């Protein structure tokens, strides 16, 4: 997935009201950018961080910049846009780049299922059970190299696991796919201290046949693509 408009560097001044971020452009101008991430963004929203913004000329948008990346001091990147994982994964699924799911040729996004829910992707292929895939963006790192999810309490995430569990119980494939939107992590685990209810829901889901996949991403100011599988601990 390539960004539709070339990104420009900036310095984060502050993030506030969840969806707003004041930034300094290289010419010294201070602007307000849209922050497409409702989560806590722990460790990714500190004043002075180098960030990358996507400008736009859309007259329908009040804000002319969208915050896309954080560039860390070690040269690694984190993606903060929670819509990116679905776009990245859709391209990868359609290209059969996810090894565990490569046998499925039909990829349908945002399909209604369960109780007032939508699955991120419904995969189908003759002779195979339908496969329900839920995607989560992972950006939290509290220990070097270890990515964790979630970064805050997520009742919605627990509900998604319950819906996947029901699909698995009905004989379908159900997959919880965690996509790491940062390039400095080599392994993954659930942050059960942050949201023990989510962790419990995951344990129940896994015991009922819900599969867990964890993948890295390759991130740069040019775009984001699917990386290699990541080990879960």
pLDDT recorded at residue 61: 86
Q: Are 88 and 224 in contact (CB under 8 A)?
A: yes
CA–CA separation, 214 and 12 (whole Å):
30
Before 150, cis peptide (omega within 30)? yes
pLDDT recorded at residue 57: 87
Which CATH number is correct for 8-79, 2.40.50.580, 3.50.30.50, 2.30.42.10, 2.70.70.10? 2.40.50.580
The boundaries of every CATH 2.40.50.580 domain in the chain are 8-79
Q: Are 95 and 103 in contact (CB under 8 A)?
A: no
- Residues of the chain falling short of pLDDT 70: none
pLDDT recorded at residue 116: 82
pLDDT recorded at residue 154: 94
pLDDT recorded at residue 32: 97
The boundaries of every CATH 3.40.1350.60 domain in the chain are 84-232
Q: Are 88 and 179 in contact (CB under 8 A)?
A: yes
**CATH number for the domain running over 84-232:** 3.40.1350.60
pLDDT recorded at residue 173: 98
CA–CA separation, 70 and 21 (whole Å):
13
């Amino acid at each position: 997935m390539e960004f539709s408009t070339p990104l420009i560097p900036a310095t984060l001044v502050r993030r506030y009201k969840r969806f707003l971020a004041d930034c300094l452009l290289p010419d010294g101008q201070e602007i307000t950018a849209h922050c497409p991430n409702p989560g806590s963004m722990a460790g990714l929203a500190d004043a002075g961080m180098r960030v990358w913004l996507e400008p736009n000329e859309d007259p329908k948008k009040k804000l002319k910049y969208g915050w896309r990346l954080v560039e860390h001091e070690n040269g690694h990147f984190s993606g903060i846009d929670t819509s990116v994982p679905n776009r990245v994964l859709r391209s990868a699924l359609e290209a059969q780049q996810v090894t565990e799911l490569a046998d499925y040729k039909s990829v349908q996004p945002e399909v209604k299922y369960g109780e007032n829910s939508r699955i991120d992707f419904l995969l189908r292929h003759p002779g195979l059970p339908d496969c329900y895939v839920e995607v989560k963006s992972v950006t939290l790192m509290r220990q070097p190299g270890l990515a964790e999810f979630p970064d805050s309490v997520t009742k919605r995430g627990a509900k998604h696991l319950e819906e996947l569990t029901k699909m698995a119980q009905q004989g379908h494939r159900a997959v919880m796919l965690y996509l790491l939107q940062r390039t400095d992590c080599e392994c993954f685990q659930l942050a059960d201290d942050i949201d023990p209810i989510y962790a419990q829901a995951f344990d129940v889901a896994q015991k009922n046949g819900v599969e867990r996949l964890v993948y890295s991403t390759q991130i740069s100011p040019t775009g984001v693509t699917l990386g290699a599988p990541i080990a879960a601990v």
